[in-house]
Amino acid sequence: MVEDFFNSNDSFRYLKNYYNLQDTAEIYGVSRLEIKHSNFLAWILNPKNSKLGTLNMRNLLKVIQNHYKKDNSNFKSLNLNDSMITLSEDSIKREKHNIDLFITFQLDNDDYAIILENKIYSGIHDNQLLNYYNTIETNYTKYNEDNIIRVFLYTDYQDDNFVKHQKTKAITDGYIPITYQDIYENVLLPILDYSTEAKEIFLVSEYIHCLANYTDDTGNGIMIITKQDRKCLANLFQEDKMLKFITNIRDSSKDNEYLTFYNNNKSLFLMCFNKYRRILLQEDKKSQLIIKLETILHNKKYILHTKISSKPYRGIAELLSDMLEDLSAKYDYDKLDSMFNNFYSDPLFVPVGDILNVSHPKWFTTHEKTIHIYNKDCYVLSSWGSSDYEELKNKINELNIEITLE
């Protein structure tokens, strides 16, 4: 039986035991509440809470410095291993001027301030990032521009288009993007390595479990990939029986023992599939296994083939956006316009500046579905739906443009 393999596999049993174990944050129902994560970060950075003193703050600054792009700034040039950090328990403020974390401190007697905006499965709204900076610059005149460090903390294991847009917006507004994976690897793990306080070790271990765990059955709740994740998943996915299991649950149309076992452990398998897929993508391993996992995770049924890769999509709009972005590297705007805009009465894409001249498009998306074609930012427009896919597929394949749909 299929469950015999999983019940006897040490890696699977570890993952099952770890992720079926509830942490206190999950019991309290706060594991994905942004404000609670900000509270915990404020706690671990406060030197009064640890005999490690300013080590946690120093490690956070190293993460920020590693992502800092201004090579000629004082902060970028500092040797943070040797710098003296002056940080009091009053230096870390929550929701000051509506800022998630506002941290004031000294590095080698120079005054610095950190504006840290924390986003967990939520987006930047309006001009909030610039407004935070302008508020601090206006009200705290002792900090010059280079000494106000703007940080955007986010989880990068989300929808790729959403993450790309959020990160671009933050960078445009002068913020340094760092991830919860950075926090886990560079701030939390060193606490476990060096702390001698049982309370601190327990709380940080609980918090790591909170970051690593799922709270639903969608497979999209991932915040970090732990060291143990990588080890266990690498071992598990080397097993032929695991690969056979994936093929069977993806391709089976009728109930069977594979689907039954999968459905009985769905949240656990979604965690395993999503994390291992991310690991493969990080290692730049283009494999059929990624496509299989994405098909299961996101019910992606539209597949685009190019000369360099094959990629599945869960919707027509997502597919068209990626396809046009790929083609824009090869064809200019006028060529693409003549190719595609005779498919339907509505154009397939249109320059952003001309959007008001488009008469009643049946469907279009905004900033998350834009492409850049020869210095033109274009909205992807479409009245194609899933029922039209066969017609769309035939038209695309007839164009002979080194792209095919399956």
Q: What is the per-residue pLDDT across 118-174, written as a single tens digit (0 to 9) for each? A: 998 788 888 999 999 999 999 998 988 889 999 999 988 877 777 888 899 999 999
Say whether pLDDT at 348 is over 90: no
Choice between 238 and 367, residue whose per-residue pLDDT is larger? 238
Say whether pLDDT at 18 is over 70: yes
Residues near 79 by beta carbon (within 8 Å), at least 6 away in sequence: none
CB-neighbour burial class of residue 331 (10 A; exposed 0-12, middle 13-18, buried 19+)? middle
What Rg value do the Cα atoms of the chain yield, rounded?
Answer: 24
Q: Which of 182-191, 271-280, 392-401 is modeled with the greatest confidence?
A: 182-191
User: Sign of the CA dihedral 216, 203, 205, 276?
Assistant: positive
Determine if the pTM surpasses 0.85.
Answer: no
Query: Could you say which DSSP state residue 98 is in?
Result: T
Say whether pLDDT at 280 is over 60: yes
pLDDT at position 359 is 57
Q: Which of 53, 301, 284 is nearest to 190 (CA)?
A: 53
Q: What is the mean pLDDT of the chain?
A: 83
pLDDT at position 169 is 92
pLDDT at position 255 is 80
Mean pLDDT of 336-353: 67
What pairs with residue 114 in β-bridges? 103, 149
Mean pLDDT of 23-49: 86
Say whether pLDDT at 194 is over 90: yes
99 within 8 A of 132, measured Cβ to Cβ: yes
Lowest-pLDDT choice from 91-105, 281-295, 298-312, 342-356: 342-356
177 within 8 A of 67, measured Cβ to Cβ: yes
Say whether pLDDT at 287 is over 90: no
Mean pLDDT of 12-34: 83
Q: What is the rounded distance in angstroms from the CA atom of residue 296 to the CA atom of residue 294?
A: 5
Mean pLDDT of 82-99: 90
Local confidence band at 253 (pLDDT 50, 70, 90 cut-offs)? low
Local confidence band at 363 (pLDDT 50, 70, 90 cut-offs)? very low
Say whether pLDDT at 387 is over 70: no
Local confidence band at 4 (pLDDT 50, 70, 90 cut-offs)? very high
192 within 8 A of 200, measured Cβ to Cβ: no
Q: What is the percent of the chain where pLDDT is above 90?
A: 43
Mean pLDDT of 270-296: 85
Local confidence band at 365 (pLDDT 50, 70, 90 cut-offs)? very low
pLDDT at position 190 is 96
